[in-house]
Amino acid sequence: MVQDDVTRRILAAIRAIPRGEVAGYGEVARRAGLPGRARLVARLLSGNDDPRLPWHRVLRSDGRIAFPEGSRGYREQSQRLRAEGVRVENGRVLGRRPAATLDEQIWGAPAPERAPSAKPEAARRRAARDKRS
DNA sequence: CGACTGACGGTCG
DNA sequence: ACGACCGCCAGTC
């Protein structure tokens, strides 16, 4: 099976993460030249079987492990990270700085008013399921 | 073609 | 700090 370009680039980006460091899914996607494809990165890892791939260095952007607490992958990832000297506490990697909102970082502007919009319940249902599982 | 799903990201209350 | 939501991308059904 020949891996397509995108796949290889993503894998390369993951392998490029230095030992003892971590990166978010979206970050990896960006480094692979695929901004906005964080979910694609996640999908790849979900089907990954290569043991030498440092998948454990990939976390959610907020520094939390993407697996539900207590799950197999959760423990596995925590252990692997700690083995590299990364401090992990309650599924969260320390040393990360969530920082302020982008608005403040970039524009330093106060919260602009936001026109209320309808509630697409299709998206809402998805969000609920997404969170549960 | 449209609904559902997921190792996601970001905003808001 | 947290949970509820919305937005996005891609693959399945």
pLDDT in tens, A110-129: 544 545 555 567 777 777 77
d(CA A59, CA A110): 30
User: Token pair for residue A64?
Assistant: 């939390």
Q: pLDDT band at residue A131, thresholds of 50, 70 and 90?
A: confident
Through-space separation of residue A71 CA and nucleotide B10 C1' in angstroms: 25
Q: Domains, chain A, ranges and CATH?
A: 5-99 (1.10.10.10)
Residue A98 confidence (pLDDT) above 80: no
> Who wins on pLDDT, A70 or A2?
A70
pLDDT of residue A116: 54
Through-space separation of residue A45 CA and nucleotide B4 C1' in angstroms: 21
Question: Is there contact between A102 and strand B, defined as CB under 7 Å from any strand atom?
Answer: yes
- Percentage of chain A lying above the pLDDT 90 cut: 68
Nucleotides of B under 7 A from a protein CB: 3-13
Sign of CA dihedral A100, A102, A104, A110: negative
Between residue 54 and residue 83 of chain A, the positions with Cβ below 7 Å from nucleic chain B are: 55-56, 58, 60-62, 66-67, 73, 77
Q: CB of A29 within 8 A of CB of A38?
A: yes
pLDDT of residue A80: 96
User: Token pair for residue A74?
Assistant: 């959760």
